[in-house]
Amino acid sequence: MKILDKLVLETFLKLFVLVLLAVPPLFIIGDIAENLDDYIDRGLTGYEVAQSYLYQLPLFLQWSFPIAALLAAVFTVHGMTTHREIVAAKAGGISFHRLVVPILLAGVGLTVVALALTEVVPKGNRVAAQILRSETPGRTWRSDFVYRSEEGLTWQVDRLTAADGRMTGIILERPPGGDEEGLHVTAEGARYTEEEGWLLSLGYLRSLRADSTERSLQFDRLVIPEIREKPDELLEVPPEPEEMTYAEINHMADIIQRTGGDANELMVKREQKISIPVTTLVIILFGVPLATSNKRGGAAYGIGLSLATVILFMMMLRVAGALGEAGALSPVVAAWLPNAVFGVAALFFMIRVRT
């Protein structure tokens, strides 16, 4: 690696780390200000709130990656432009495109790290949700929900009332695996008793055996021994998309689609788990050519450019996401549209830069 490459890379990484350390506390302060009344109403202690934000730190770091990468790239290139270092490099036969290669390579590496955080973030969010007791207290009913048991059974239920232990509009599924047969059950209703468990009524059972043979039957009453969940257990709040990994969201979306539900929101969140980390590289590509302007000087230009870029990107992300959840755009398009727009703009600006 050439000395100039080391200089560019070291400058970029130092600025990136500095901003990365500074941005998460801002997210935390903003989130506390927004939810403080809720925390007080739940009787949470300061220690519990602090502990929950410690577990959410990977999430705030992931959000900070594009911002830190953009600021670091802008200030690195703009500083070199202001101090005529880019002019000196060009005079030595080094083009602008070659000069920023270390920044782009660092962006690729940071994108990989951001993608790795995608698998860490849901675990921390789940623990934080438990600490904050975000479940609705005293709830005695649920409607239109999906539940997956530890035994691999997936429930889709129209309505559950825990007080009388009754459910309506039930679909039960279990995929075949190993020596265990697959199962698909539909029932109009069910009633829970301590002696029998859940007694399903008026429905159909279809099973797929390991030898690929099927059997189906209609029933007036049916008890499935594997169903052990009590009404109170089924009242547990399902994890939010932010608390699920890519594979878990994919599995949940597949279940909802197979049972006729609308999984657009989950599918958009699933695609965003990949597209948002990739934003780190796209945003660097966008900011680097714009930072070559030396007509406006100082930190104000770099900060203003970065803030405008982040705000514009977040607006596009929210609008595209909302269109995807509403079904106006496919989930893939909705998740990747902001990256595509900024990527095309970045290539245009990069080509226009005098090398």
- pLDDT per residue rounded down to tens, the chain (355 residues): 588 889 999 999 999 999 999 999 999 999 999 988 888 888 888 899 999 999 999 999 999 999 999 999 988 988 888 888 888 888 888 888 888 899 999 999 999 999 999 989 999 998 898 888 655 445 677 888 787 776 678 888 899 888 888 999 999 888 776 667 888 899 999 999 888 888 999 999 988 876 677 888 899 999 887 777 788 777 766 677 888 888 888 877 876 776 566 788 889 999 999 999 999 999 999 888 887 765 555 556 666 777 788 888 889 999 999 999 888 899 999 999 999 999 999 898 888 877 7
What are the tens digits of pLDDT across the range 281-297?
A: 999 998 888 877 655 55
pTM: 0.71
The DSSP-derived string for 96-152 is HHHHTHHHHHHHHHHHHHHHHHHHHHHHHHHHHHHHHT-SPTT--EEEEEEEE-TTS
Contacts (Cβ under 8 Å, ≥6 apart) of 55: 124, 125, 127, 128, 131
* Domain ranges across the chain: 3-134+264-352, 141-236
